[in-house]
Structure 1
Amino acid sequence: MRFALAGNPNCGKTTLFNGLTGSTAHVGNWPGVTVDRREGMYKKLEEKVTIVDLPGIYSLSPYTPEEIVTRNYIIDEKPDLIINIIDATNLERNLYLTTQLLEIDCPVVIALNMMDSVLKDGTKIDIKVLEFKLGVPIIPISALRSDGIKSLMEKAYATAKTKRVGKSVLENSDMSNQYGEIVSLLKKENVLHPVFQAVKLLEGDELSKKDFANLLPKIEKVKNTISLKEELEGDFEAAVADLRYKYITANCKGIIKHTKKSNELTKSDKIDKVLTNRWIGIPLFLLFMFIAFHLIFTEDLLFLNKFGVLEEGILSPGVWLQGAVGQLFGFLISGTGDVLANIGASAWLIGLVVDGILTGLDAVLSFLPQILMLFLFLSIMEDSGYMARAAFLMDRVLRRFGLSGKAFMPLLMCFGCSVPAMMATRTLEDPKERRLTVMLAPFFSCGAKLPIWAMFSVAVFPGNADFVVFGIYLLGIVTAIIAAIILKKTVFKGETAPFIMELPAYHLPQFKNVVLHLWEKLKGFVLRATTIIAGAVVVIWFFSNFNFSLEMVQANSADSILGIVGNFIRPLFIPLGFASGTLGWKAVVATISGLIAKEMVVSTMGVLYNPGIEGDALEDQGASDALSVTLATSFSPAAALAFMAFNLLSVPCMAAVAAAHGELGGKKWTALTIAFWIGTAWIVSFVVFNVATLLGFGG
């Protein structure tokens, strides 16, 4: 059996999906559309049930990719049952989608979610009466607390075995006769879901008109007999929407009873008075972000070193965990080198395994704890409801630069990965705003870039790592704002689309949801590291150890293939500071490798700046620490800042370029965007290097 989850955004659908499917969930894309497809298995019934999490939508009208995906799946794929998740704290608004789902010939069960919040607010909902009026089972649940989930699935399983014919609110309306004629006409043509399609044809729905073009003359003849109110002026879609809202209002009358006074503030309202305050809302958001970076990157957690209390500060959890993983890799690398040497392995094999694969992987994977900690922080912000407030806060700021708060959500997703963030721009109706958002997306540092910041902040700025990483993130945001101003005044002139968003109630993040989210990130990151990155590391090791005659040369020398190519390109980067000197080609090659995947920057540096398995570096400390020592002597603070700035703002990775191409609409826009990224990166990196040098960080 297959059950489809359908509901509005922020109704708790994802929480319910995670609770039902757990570790069986997997994510892909719907065919032909860059919108997430999430499926999983529920195993606690007589038979296994596939749960399909449909995108969050407000209606089944074909205006966004999410609405089209949901509609096409229900109509074409014919799930055995629809579980309609409704936010019980916003019952009337959520029922608008319900009235459309009930028009489809498919069994429906309503999951009345967030009932714990309803009861806490002193509100009562007469579920039995509402169940009778809607004609489908209603089960009260709390997806966050896992209350009522078992009852919901048992009722859904039983209901899925019965047939159901769609019903519409138009049956008892002023246009019931015309509606009935169209339904009869569609039934004669053996049309699937005749009730749903009849309403859509009355509305003038473009998809339905295309599917039933041969019936349009008869349907238009019927519609001409309908007299609408003067204010609707022939707008049948608005007329049907008006009938839906009247139906919802009539059926909810007396069902919802409030015991609290209507002017009494909820807990969420009281918190919002502080967190969304006009003056302190954004500073508080920045403070929360800094606290996160401080816990992840600082070597002076309580500022005891800065105030002279201790010679060495207390390590943050992120730095301690990173060091522990680095030590483990150090033992693994040195141990592997000893084993290979003892069994008489050749020098090239030892170099490939130890200096190439293991050292390259260590350079990336040792920063995994810090990456997971950042994702943990972002997951908590999102699951608690605060992330939506951040979008609300930023709308006032972004609107001045040609973007709305709606664009802030994809931009915020960039802190995780630029690829889904660019795909998420499809929710922006205005093509100008969509293109502008895609062009600014890489400036918001993704998780793949985090190892670069962690590596350089520890190596070159050990006492101020948290401030440096926080500063890099701010640099990206400031650059995005300046770029948006320039683009708004030149390329993307015009008004900004309005931003309307419902703010979900605050609640404590669910431990299970957060863990599942982190597991998905961990799995994806490790998979990339052990496949794409490991393979690329082997290629880099080969090119850094052989010349064009395929003769083995001294490791990482200027005579290698990479050395020759790097030195050829190096003059372009010399003004940026990090390409100066005889070893400058290594930084250039690392930067170019980041065009494939930003994780490659660190793994490439792990290979090129590798101190080697001779000496005491890898025996006395982890491989990551040895790399830090090498980088500290190879980069001045100004050069390190310029290197980070360039990698922050330049082309993110090939996957992101492909995603951007799909959203920008045309090769011309893609080429212009790539040139814009590289040009911006070069200019900002040049400014950063020279300003830092003037401030005394050049030595």
Structure 2
Amino acid sequence: MKFALAGNPNSGKTTLFNALTGSNAHVGNWPGVTVDKKEGIYKKLPEKVEILDLPGVYSMSPYTPEEVIARNVVLDQSTDAIINIVDATNLERNLYLTTQLLELDKPIVVALNMIDVVDKEGYKIDILELEKALGVPVVSVSALKGKGIKELMERAYSKAKEKREGYSPLAESVLGNLLKLTTEMYKIKGVSNPVFKAVKLIDGDALEIAENPDLEKELDKYKAQFDVSNYDGDYGAAIADIRYKHIVSNYSIYLYRVKSYTSKSEKIDRVLTHKFWGIPIFLAIMLFVFHITFGSDFLYLSLIIPEGSFNIELIGKDMIASPGTILQSGVEYLTDLVLGGVYAKMPEGAWYTGLIADGLLSGVFAVLSFVPQILLLFLFLSILEDSGYMARVAFIMDRAFKRFGLSGRALMPLLMCFGCAVPGILGTRTLGTDAERRRTIYLTPFFSCGAKLPIWAAFAGVFSAKYMNLSAEVIVFTIYIIGIVIAILAAILLKKTIIKGEPQTFIMELPSYHIPQIKGLLIHLWEKLKHYVTRAATVIAGAVVVLWFFSSFNFRFEYTGDSANSILGTISRWVSFAFIPVGWGMGENGWRFLVAAITGIVAKEMVVATLGTLSGMSGIDNGAFSALLLSVGGTLGGLDVSVPAMFSFLAFNLLSIPCASAVAAARSELLLGDKKVGRKYFYGAILFWIATAYSVSLIIFWFGTLAVFSPWIAAIVGALIAIGVVIVVTIKSKKLKVIEKGIENETN
């Protein structure tokens, strides 16, 4: 038996799925798309039930990949019942999808989620009367607390054995006769779910028309008899209006206010979404997250710990490292032990020793040592997302970004890029205009994905250890800020030049705040860990072996212990001259950093893996990797420019061409519609990413070098630039206010 979970985004659907399936869940992808497919087993009924977690959707209209998938599954004959998760705190909006599901010839059970929140907010829902009105079972549940789940599954199991005919609100509207005629046409053809399909055909649904073009021609004859002039002849608008009116008059009447109440979410939002303090609070939260994850001086306790108090390996000397740093040091200690053991058992200088120890293990271990910090960061981001705060981030960012050519709607897929760029790029399909969609795709690499975290962690850890005035969390935070600032500037540039067009108005319903479920967070982290380790054992390991070969053999295919004289070293030294102006191409190791940046196009984790392999890192000399990172840039006229060169290298890897998977996703999305035009935008994106990365790296290196040479001069130059930006923004704001006032006067 198979049940499908269907509901709006943020309705608690995935939380319910985790509560039902626990560790039995399997995560894959739907065929042809990279939308997550989650399946699991519920074992507490007379027979095992397969649970399918559908993507969160607002309707069954096929506008996005998620909606197409959800539609196909609910129409699938193998689905025995549908559990519709309804957010009780947003009843009317959630019941819109319910009215569409009720049109199916399938057993439906409504799970009224977050009913406890409704009670706290001073409302009451008459569940028995609502059940009578809907004509299907309604069960009150709290997915977060696990309440009502047993009753829900028992009623769904019972109803799955009964037959049910679909019903539509259109039956009682001005389109009732049209629906009846269209439904009869489908019944004559022997098509399943005739009411659902009839409504879709009347709506002008593209998928339905493609499946039944003969019925569309027949329907056009009937449509002429019905008057929808109030909707400018738009049947889609008429159907949507009929649904909402039906919800208000038949279902919303069972939602009562019993007492006046200001919710906790409203009180919290007065602070977190404040017009002036919203963005600074968000930045402060992210800085604290980076401090917990990457900091070497936890809560800056060294300020109160007396000198000479202790010196504990992995913990710190007269200070306590952050939890993320302690965990990372622990994993690094274990990998060093393994490498040391491998070297002790294998002959020194043999090619297979180099392959296994210097190549494969060194490269893979260089990446795996940062897994604890990556998981810890994902944990914090998941908490922020599941609590409802990240939705607020999109809201507060919309006010700041819309004047630069980005709406809050575009920020949603960009925020997804903090996890992975691929779903972020695919998420741009929800944007209303081609200009905004293309512009957003161009900006996706600038929001640091999880695969880039090992790069930031590696350099931040090494440089903060040498330069005490540079804290690791500030280095990582700076990189994220650079990405956001460059995204703003790039959005302005694109809007004014090659991708013109205004962003759409952003309307968003903010979910209530709630405490994330620990079980759900752990399942999410386990999925990330499996994905990361699998990637390290396959893609990264394979690429490291190829990299080791070309860095260990010369053009005569003779094994050489000097990677500088290898095939890779020889070619890279010729090319590295082009990157001398950006700093990290200088010095005897400049070619190694170039190779690392290039291999990052395959997978961003490869940057650290490549540096680990090319450094000769081993269990015998575990300082070789750190020494290589510290050598970036070297000296310029006797001036130590390693810090500006380091920031230049990090900025280049942040802004340049993303990984191969993201590039493939960008190509598929940009080629939607006119293929010829799409190819131009795709190749334009590649050039844009390279040019942006090189230009920004160049500016960072030379401004940083100026700061090293003369901090006062750099401060004056920076202040003049800041003053210029403030003046320009102020002038533009005044012009905008004058225009808005003029429009307002004309309207009045």
Query: Alignment partner of 1:390: what SS?
Result: helix
Q: 17-26 or 153-162, which moves further after superposition?
A: 17-26
Task: Check conservation: 2:368, 2:536, Cα contact below 8 A.
Answer: yes
In 1, Cα distance between the equivalents of 2:95 and 2:382? 29
In 2, Cα distance between the equivalents of 1:651 and 1:173? 54
Match of 1:599 among 582, 595, 605: 605
Query: Alignment partner of 1:441: what SS?
Result: helix
Task: Output aligned runs, 1:648-667, within 5 Å.
Answer: 648-665=654-671, 666-667=678-679
2:263: which partner in 1?
Answer: 266
Per the TM alignment, residue 376 of structure 1 is displaced from its structure 2 partner at its CA by 0.7
Q: 244-253 or 629-638, which moves further after superposition?
A: 629-638
Distance 1:553 1:697, change over 3 A: farther
Task: Check conservation: 1:300, 1:312, Cα contact below 8 A.
Answer: no
Task: Output aligned runs, 1:167-246, within 5 Å.
Answer: 167-228=167-228, 231-246=230-245
Task: Check conservation: 1:302, 1:313, Cα contact below 8 A.
Answer: no
Task: Check conservation: 1:99, 1:169, Cα contact below 8 A.
Answer: yes
Identity in percent: 54
Task: Check conservation: 1:458, 1:628, Cα contact below 8 A.
Answer: no
Distance 1:572 1:63, change over 3 A: same
Map Cα deviations across residues 445-468 of structure 1 (whole Å, 9 max, x no partner): 111111111111121233311111
Map Cα deviations across residues 254-313 of structure 1 (whole Å, 9 max, x no partner): 42222122xx32110010000001010000000000001111111122334478965743
1:620: which partner in 2?
Answer: none
Match of 1:468 among 445, 470, 475: 475
Per the TM alignment, residue 340 of structure 1 is displaced from its structure 2 partner at its CA by 2.5
Task: Check conservation: 1:142, 1:148, Cα contact below 8 A.
Answer: yes
Amino acid at match of 2:263: T
Map Cα deviations across residues 398-442 of structure 1 (whole Å, 9 max, x no partner): 211211111112111111111221122122232211111111111
Distance 1:218 1:601, change over 3 A: closer
2:289: which partner in 1?
Answer: 292
1:6: which partner in 2?
Answer: 6
Distance 1:163 1:314, change over 3 A: same
Per the TM alignment, residue 691 of structure 1 is displaced from its structure 2 partner at its CA by 0.7
Per the TM alignment, residue 626 of structure 1 is displaced from its structure 2 partner at its CA by 4.7
In 2, Cα distance between the equivalents of 1:363 and 1:440? 29
1:406: which partner in 2?
Answer: 409
In 2, Cα distance between the equivalents of 1:432 and 1:411? 15
Distance 1:104 1:582, change over 3 A: same
Distance 1:50 1:612, change over 3 A: closer
Distance 1:302 1:130, change over 3 A: closer
Report whether the alignment pairs 1:507 with 2:514: yes
In 1, Cα distance between the equivalents of 2:594 and 2:177? 73
Map Cα deviations across residues 105-145 of structure 1 (whole Å, 9 max, x no partner): 11111111111212222322111111111111111111111
Q: 159-168 or 76-85, which moves further after superposition?
A: 76-85
Amino acid at match of 2:556: S
Match of 1:647 among 645, 653, 658: 653
Report whether the alignment pairs 1:338 with 2:344: yes
Task: Check conservation: 1:411, 1:444, Cα contact below 8 A.
Answer: yes
In 1, Cα distance between the equivalents of 2:299 and 2:124? 48
Task: Check conservation: 1:425, 1:438, Cα contact below 8 A.
Answer: yes
In 2, Cα distance between the equivalents of 1:317 and 1:140? 40
Task: Check conservation: 1:403, 1:433, Cα contact below 8 A.
Answer: yes
Report whether the alignment pairs 1:432 with 2:439: no
In 2, Cα distance between the equivalents of 1:38 and 1:227? 44
Task: Check conservation: 1:432, 1:492, Cα contact below 8 A.
Answer: yes
In 1, Cα distance between the equivalents of 2:62 and 2:286? 38
TM-score of the pair, normalised by structure 2: 0.88
Task: Check conservation: 2:60, 2:100, Cα contact below 8 A.
Answer: yes
Query: Alignment partner of 1:597: what SS?
Result: coil
Query: Alignment partner of 1:670: what SS?
Result: helix
In 2, Cα distance between the equivalents of 1:405 and 1:111? 30
Match of 1:532 among 530, 539, 542: 539
Map Cα deviations across residues 628-682 of structure 1 (whole Å, 9 max, x no partner): 2442245511211111111111112111111111111133222111111111111
Q: 659-668 or 506-515, which moves further after superposition?
A: 659-668
Match of 2:377 among 364, 374, 377: 374
Query: Alignment partner of 1:180: what SS?
Result: helix
In 2, Cα distance between the equivalents of 1:602 and 1:200? 52
CA-based RMSD of the aligned residues comes to 2.0
1:44: which partner in 2?
Answer: 44
Unaligned runs of 5+ in 2: 308-316, 634-641, 672-677, 712-748
Q: Stretches of 4+ moved more than 3 A in 1?
A: 304-313, 611-614
Per the TM alignment, residue 93 of structure 1 is displaced from its structure 2 partner at its CA by 1.9
Task: Check conservation: 1:591, 1:601, Cα contact below 8 A.
Answer: yes
Task: Check conservation: 1:60, 1:68, Cα contact below 8 A.
Answer: yes
Distance 1:328 1:32, change over 3 A: closer
In 1, Cα distance between the equivalents of 2:185 and 2:538? 57
Task: Output aligned runs, 1:78-89, within 5 Å.
Answer: 78-89=78-89
Distance 1:420 1:348, change over 3 A: same
Distance 1:360 1:218, change over 3 A: closer
Per the TM alignment, residue 239 of structure 1 is displaced from its structure 2 partner at its CA by 2.3
Map Cα deviations across residues 515-562 of structure 1 (whole Å, 9 max, x no partner): 111111111111111111112212222211111111011232x21111
In 1, Cα distance between the equivalents of 2:438 and 2:584? 32
Map Cα deviations across residues 52-88 of structure 1 (whole Å, 9 max, x no partner): 2222122222333322222222224551111111011
Match of 1:392 among 395, 398, 404: 395
2:704: which partner in 1?
Answer: 692
Amino acid at match of 1:267: K
Q: 373-382 or 561-570, which moves further after superposition?
A: 561-570
In 2, Cα distance between the equivalents of 1:613 and 1:70? 51
Task: Check conservation: 2:581, 2:698, Cα contact below 8 A.
Answer: yes
Map Cα deviations across residues 460-491 of structure 1 (whole Å, 9 max, x no partner): 23331111111011111111111111001012
Task: Check conservation: 2:121, 2:262, Cα contact below 8 A.
Answer: no
Query: Alignment partner of 1:157: what SS?
Result: helix
Q: 421-430 or 486-495, which moves further after superposition?
A: 421-430
Distance 1:302 1:40, change over 3 A: same
- Of structures 1 and 2, the one with the larger relative CO (CA 8 A, separation 6+) is 1
Distance 1:690 1:698, change over 3 A: farther
In 2, Cα distance between the equivalents of 1:424 and 1:161? 37
Report whether the alignment pairs 1:673 with 2:685: yes
In 2, Cα distance between the equivalents of 1:242 and 1:578? 60
Distance 1:204 1:540, change over 3 A: closer
Query: Alignment partner of 1:303: what SS?
Result: helix
Task: Check conservation: 1:576, 1:682, Cα contact below 8 A.
Answer: yes
TM-score of the pair, normalised by structure 1: 0.94
2:120: which partner in 1?
Answer: 120
2:321: which partner in 1?
Answer: 315
Amino acid at match of 2:173: S
In 2, Cα distance between the equivalents of 1:373 and 1:105? 45
In 2, Cα distance between the equivalents of 1:299 and 1:475? 22
In 2, Cα distance between the equivalents of 1:626 and 1:260? 68
Amino acid at match of 1:45: L
Task: Check conservation: 2:436, 2:502, Cα contact below 8 A.
Answer: no
In 1, Cα distance between the equivalents of 2:355 and 2:62? 54
Task: Check conservation: 1:355, 1:613, Cα contact below 8 A.
Answer: no
Task: Check conservation: 1:5, 1:52, Cα contact below 8 A.
Answer: yes
In 2, Cα distance between the equivalents of 1:253 and 1:96? 12
Distance 1:249 1:611, change over 3 A: closer
Amino acid at match of 1:674: I
Amino acid at match of 1:627: F
Amino acid at match of 2:374: I
Q: 569-578 or 65-74, which moves further after superposition?
A: 65-74
Report whether the alignment pairs 1:455 with 2:458: yes
